[in-house]
Amino acid sequence: MNGLINRAIACFVRDSYGDPLWEEVTARLGIDESAFEPLMPCDPGVTARLVEAVAARFSRSSADLLEDLGTYLVAQPRSEAIRRLLRFGGVDFAEFLESLEDLPDRARLAMSELDLPAISLYMQGAGVFRVEMARADGAGLRFGPVLLGMLRAMADDYGALVVLDYRGCDATREIIEVRLLDAAFADGRGFDLASGRAAP
């Protein structure tokens, strides 16, 4: 596990529920600042405890919370960089779905320590896809809901009309069904290959 994931959770909770709540949770769990260092590895147990503690604080399920986290990561202007990196995956939502299988490799290219679970895409029929995400060994956390939230936000970003369904999980994988109803339903958000940031 990488501190980057914990920091994403920290940003999400701070932005959604305020700094005092976040500080209350981390103080109660006794989690050190170093757990949120993006380039540093950290104990997966910390991530699981964080998610459980925040969810419990609002009497929500961890899955609900993680889905909101996924949406937040793509839709928040503050994490525009993540949306951009995902948009490099394809020119439309279907192509983006196909690029999901490359996602762990792409993430590793950006940050060699970042180990995302493997993702497989299966065509079920016209416009129906099954996305399978491997469950990381040992870690009790399921990240499928995060992917679900991200897919929802990315569909909006591309202006595609989709129906998403978390179909559950077994010991080795989590399954999400994607029905692409209209790839060009709305205008979506613009995407320039060149960002101001990348310019020399």
User: Which residues in this chain contact other proteins in the complex, by CB under 8 A?
Assistant: 37-40, 81, 84-85, 88, 90-91, 106, 109-111, 191-195, 197-200
Instruction: Kindly state the tokens that stand for 87.
Output: 């948009």
In the bound complex, what is the minimum distance in angstroms from residue 166's beta carbon to other proteins? 28
Using the minimum distance from each CB to other proteins, give the nearer residue, 7 or 179. Answer: 7
Using the minimum distance from each CB to other proteins, give the nearer residue, 64 or 105. Answer: 105
In the bound complex, what is the minimum distance in angstroms from residue 110's beta carbon to other proteins? 3
Using the minimum distance from each CB to other proteins, give the nearer residue, 37 or 52. Answer: 37
- The structure tokens 């180990």 sit at 115
DSSP codes, 143-171: -HHHHHHHHHHHHHHHT-EEEEEEEEE-S
In the bound complex, what is the minimum distance in angstroms from residue 197's beta carbon to other proteins? 6
Using the minimum distance from each CB to other proteins, give the nearer residue, 49 or 106. Answer: 106
Q: List the beta bridge partners of residue 106.
A: none
144 phi and psi, to 5 degrees?
A: -50, -45
